[in-house]
Structure 1
Amino acid sequence: MKVPHVVPYQGSKRKIAEDILMNIPKKIQGRLFEPFSGSAAITLSAAAKNLADGYVVGDKYEPLINLWRKVVNNPDDAAREYKFLWDSQLVDPKSFFAECRSQFNVDNDPVKFLYLVARCVKNAIRFNSQGEFNQSPDNRRLGTNPDRMRKEMFCASELLHSKVDFRVGDFMDILKDATSNDVVYMDPPWQGTSNKKDPRYAYLLDIERLTRGLEDLNSRSIPYLLSFDGACGDRSYGNELPDHLNLIKIDIHAGRSSQATLLGRDDITIESLYLSPALVESSSYESMHKRYA
């Protein structure tokens, strides 16, 4: 089944979802958790393959989860509201974007958030020190066409309706009821792109909190995968995770960097995927990799 693309989020794992999902069982006995959801690319790709009977989509940024809740449960309303915003910009796109951004920073309307993401420069979300959305519009385009957006929303709704639990909060709170039958995929803010001078995320990365969370998941024998650091050309992003977590690191080729392309270079982006001990030690993981060997 087609994998929908609702939130055109820079940093989405949509293009490497297949490579990531190759490392989980063909059928998950429990649920798939995605506590740093963003574009929910892994959840949507897994649902298209019917890899689990249930999904948990969470994030600390409430407008994002409210958007997903509306898309899945009320796609007609979400599509209609997006079309109204998209059509309203046609007289003066630049001024309308600024007005919509100001309104969103007051009311946190989830569909306004989607419009801003679809229209902003490189689909790259930015926040100021007050937590307000402050990215500029891309004046070369108008964002995802509303007819296409409607199709993507309805496809996402078809995949996840009645199968998903939406949660807002810290990732460990979202994972509090995860069990060894579930699989967790995490894509937290990268160290190299989440400092105060480069606020690409609403909430910055607390590496100590992340490490404690992974220790807790290990102690509970919960299978998980983690996209965490990487490299582009000769530039690395962040440090590797502590050895005592006993994670297996896999490098995934994410293709040519779009920024490098703009600069006329051929830099390739490598993303690191970490596999937990409980995942690697599972019989389903071992048998799966015998199939691919």
Structure 2
Amino acid sequence: MSVDVERVTSVPSLPKRSSEAHKGQFGHVLVVAGGRGMAGAAGLVGAAALRSGAGLVRVASPSEVQPVVATFEPSYMTYPLPQDSEGLIDFPAAAPTLGRLIDPADVLAIGPGLGRSRGLDAMVRWIAEEGDKPAVIDADALNALVETPEVLRKVSRPIVVTPHPGEFARMTGATADEVQADREARAVAFASGVEHLVVVLKGHGTIVTDGRRLFVNKTGNPGMATGGSGDVLTGVIAALIGQGLSPFDASVLGVHAHGLAGDIARSHSGEVGLIAGDIVDALADSFEALGALG
């Protein structure tokens, strides 16, 4: 199927930093992620956001998970949320704390490792519908949107969704094979039907589209097909939005820098041995190579 959109080939960059810069100028990212057995997902998002230039990162996760998340990286702050018997965030009990954390944030990153429950689905819908902060929605949080796709059409805030082909198939009522056979057209069609939405369809040649523009990424390698790689991307894109890039530009630069970090990591670890933490560690070199940070 042909796709009638503007094809974007250039990658945006971040402005060089002033010698008088301070952390308040580079965005406050709130990460809502993690559940029992999935603390690493929250840690990867938070660490990736820091390595992508965020001035301040806060990570909110269930109370039993929070101490584990805190051990991964001392440079972000962590906050415990009420949890249910399954070790997942208990919503609406967590709503007051979440409201206080959301208020000062510039951008939200929601989903990795959350798990599934009716309460969590309600939480994702509540976060999406309330307020006007941009949000990057990934992983388990996408499943809440599968159940109530009309939510995306109601929100006025910028939303970036970052599904892999299986998740996108569930969001659109297709099969994963159908998505893969017509990736560009399906991503464009979905994004063009929802105002303020950017779709990042992950995979070989990750696609970024807002329904009017289309970018196909050229960086990355098969070694990045490893658990947690997508969590890293969520943190990267959120950090770039927090630094002032539009959701579309942040997504384009984010997928490109993320893929380049994977290529750099491969040069050290090889494809077979590459893990998501290697990608986080390579983000600084990736942005340096792109000249995106001064």
TM-score when normalising by structure 2: 0.34
Greater radius of gyration (CA): 1
TM-score, length-normalised on structure 1?
0.34
